[in-house]
Amino acid sequence: MTIKRDAVSVPDLDRETEAMEEQFSGPTARPEGSPAIRIDIPRPRRGAAARWQDDLNTRALVFDLIAVSFGVGLGYFLRFDRAIDVELLEPRGGLYVLLSVALMEGWVIALGLAGSRRPEVIGSGREEYVRVARGTLAMFGVLAVVCYLAKFDLARSYVAVTLPVGFALVLLGRWLLQRRLHARRRQGECHRRTLLVGSRDAVGDLGRRIERARGAGFEVVGVCVRGGVGSPSPLDRVPVLGTVAEAADVAASVDADAVVVTAHEDATPSALKRLAWDLESTGAKLVVVPGLADVAAPRLVITPVDGVPMVQVTRPGYTGLQHGVKRAFDVVGATAILAVMLVPLVVCAVLVRLTSRGSALFCQQRIGLNGEPFTMYKLRSMRQGSETRLTEALGEEAGVFYKPKNDPRVTPVGRFLRKYSIDEFPQLINVLKGDMSLVGPRPQVADEVRQYDDTWKRRLYVKPGLTGLWQVSGRNDLPVDQSVRLDLYYVENWSLLGDVGILLRTAREVFMPSGAY
C-alpha cells in the first residue's frame, strides 16, 4: 500500500528529489545550454631559493632528531639500570622505552608545528629560539597532562635530565646551523631574490638596512617606485624595474623570491590584497614592512580589527620591576666577575705603575642616568696628564664618539689593556655602587653630551654600561650614526635576556678583539 500526502506519493517525491540532485550537483550540473565555469587554482612557482631552503629544512630536521634522541637517551640511561632484566610493561624500564620513543617523535613533530623549521625562521636568531622553546614546552605540557590522566607516575629525574639536555642541544644545533647559514650568505649564497616596492625614501632606507644585515638573506635585485623605468634609483647599483602597480609582473619577470612593500601612499588594504593574489602564481612571498624602525618584536602586539591587523607598540621599560631585576643581575654579575678578575687586575695595575709615571687607576667624571655626573674608574692606559693634550691628539676631527686609532698619548702597556678591554674592568666598582650597569650605552664626558640633540639625549634614559650593543657590533669601526642607532635601539628595547646575549658576545670580543684601540 502506498501512503499519499497531498495527492503525491512518497515514492514519487523520492524520484523527483533524486532528479533535482542529479541536475544541480556534481561538476557538470548547470542549466542546459550554459557554458561550463572552470576555476584554475594557481600553482606557485618554485624559485631558485626553494632548493637551499629545502636543504636547510632537512638539516634542521636532522639536527633536531640527533639532539632530541641524545637528550631522551641520556635521560633514560641515567635514570634506569641497563643491566636489569626488563619486561615490556616493567615500569622501571620497558614502558619507558616506549615512552622515550614516543617522546622523541612527538618532540620533533612539536618543533615542526611550532614553525621553528620554516625557511623564513631558520637563521633568524631570537624568533627561531622562541619557537623552539614554545614547541618544547608544549610537548612536555602535553606529556604531563597525559601522564596525569593516565595516572602514570612519570619519573622526575627522567624529565630533569631529558628536558634541559635535549632543549640545550636543539638550541646548540640551531646556533651551529645559523652560523653556517650566515657564513654562506657572506659568500653570496642562500639569498632570496628580493624586489622592493614603495616610496623612494622608504625603499632607500630599507635597502640600506638590508645591505647592513647581510645575514638576513635578502638580495635586492630591483625596486618599483613612482616614475617606473628611467627614474633615478634610491639605491646604488640597483635598477628601477617598474612602477608600484607593476610589482607583480616585475616579480615574475625577475624570478623574485620575495616582494617587500614599504610605506607609500598607494599601499591601501585592497591594493595589498590584490598584490598578494597576483603573487600567488609567481611563488614570491609578500613581505609588508610597517612604518616602524628599531622597535623589537616583544614590544609589538598585533590586534585584528575587522580583518585588519593593527600593530600596537608598547611603551619602553625605562623603569619598574624589570629594572629592579636588572639591578639584582648587575650586582650578582659584577661580584662574580670581580672575584675572577681581581688577581689579573692587580697584576695589570702593577705593570701600569712600573712602565709609566702616575697612578694605576684613572678617575674621570662622566655623565650617567638622567644626565647626572659620576666618577668612572679605569686602569690608566695613557701617559700622566694626557687630558691636557686632548686637542693635540684629536685635532679638529674630534667629536662625539671620536677615537683615533693611533693616539700618541697611549702607552705600550695601555695599548695591550685597550685591545683586550682590560682597562675597563675597574668599572665593576661603578656597577656595584649603582652608577653604571653591566650593559648599557657607554658613558661620555660632559663636553660630548653637550653636543647631543634631542634624539641622542635618549641615551641618558638608562644607566650607562660596562659594555653595550655597539661595542659587540663593531666597536670603534662603526660610523657615529650607526653607533647612536644601536644605543638607542638598546634603550628602547631593553630586556634581561638581551643583556645576557650582549655579555656573551662581549666575552667573545675580549678574546677575539676587533675595533678596539
Residues 181 and 197 in one domain: no
pLDDT tens-place string over residues 362-416: 898 999 998 899 999 999 888 776 665 555 545 544 555 556 666 677 888 888 8
Indicate whether 32 belongs to any domain.
no
Residues 366 and 414 in one domain: yes
Q: For a pLDDT cut of 90, what percent of the chain falls above it?
A: 27
Whether residue 190 contacts residue 219, with contact meaning beta carbons closer than 8 Å, is answered with no
Indicate whether 116 belongs to any domain.
yes
| pTM check: above 0.85 | no
- CA atoms of 277 and 455, how far apart (whole Å): 41
Domain of residue 256, CATH code: 3.40.50.1980
Indicate whether 152 belongs to any domain.
yes
Residue 42 has pLDDT above 90, yes or no: no
Residues 137 and 213 in one domain: no
Among residues 138, 163, 186, which one ends one of the domains? Answer: 186
Supply the pLDDT for residue 20. 44
Indicate whether 500 belongs to any domain.
yes
Whether residue 122 contacts residue 60, with contact meaning beta carbons closer than 8 Å, is answered with yes
CB atoms < 10 A from the CB of 239, how many?
A: 12
Residues 176 and 66 in one domain: yes
Among residues 142, 163, 186, which one ends one of the domains? Answer: 186
Q: Which residue has 612536555 as its cell numbers?
A: 140
Q: How many domains are contained in the chain?
A: 3
Question: 462 is in which domain, residue-wise?
Answer: 321-384+400-511
Among 445, 451, 485, which residue's Cα sits nearest to residue 464?
445
Residues 279 and 342 in one domain: no
Indicate whether 298 belongs to any domain.
no
**Which are the contacts of 85, defined by CB distance < 8 A and separation ≥ 6?**
none
Residues 157 and 227 in one domain: no
- CA atoms of 104 and 119, how far apart (whole Å): 22
pLDDT tens-place string over residues 53-88: 888 899 999 999 999 999 999 988 887 755 445 454
Residues 94 and 164 in one domain: yes
Residues 325 and 349 in one domain: yes
The DSSP string of 187-234 is: TT-S-EEEEEES-HHHHHHHHHHHHH-GGG-EEEEEEE-TT-TTSPPS
Indicate whether 39 belongs to any domain.
no
Residues 182 and 201 in one domain: no
pLDDT tens-place string over residues 467-492: 988 888 766 567 777 888 888 888 88
How do strand 308-313 and strand 300-305 relate by DSSP bridges? antiparallel
Indicate whether 303 belongs to any domain.
no
Residues 86 and 110 in one domain: yes
Residues 279 and 243 in one domain: yes
Indicate whether 464 belongs to any domain.
yes
The DSSP string of 394-444 is: HGGG--TT---TT-TTB-HHHHHHHHTTGGGTTHHHHHHHTS-EEESSPPB
21 SS3 class: helix
Among residues 291, 306, 334, which one ends one of the domains? Answer: 291
Residues 344 and 474 in one domain: yes
311 SS3 class: strand
Residue 17 has pLDDT above 80, yes or no: no
Whether residue 240 contacts residue 214, with contact meaning beta carbons closer than 8 Å, is answered with no
Single-letter amino acid code for the residue at 390: L
Single-letter amino acid code for the residue at 435: D
pLDDT tens-place string over residues 101-160: 999 999 999 999 999 998 888 888 888 999 999 999 999 999 999 988 988 888 888 899
Residue 186 has pLDDT above 50, yes or no: yes
**Which are the contacts of 299, defined by CB distance < 8 A and separation ≥ 6?**
313, 314, 316, 492, 493
- CA atoms of 387 and 87, how far apart (whole Å): 80
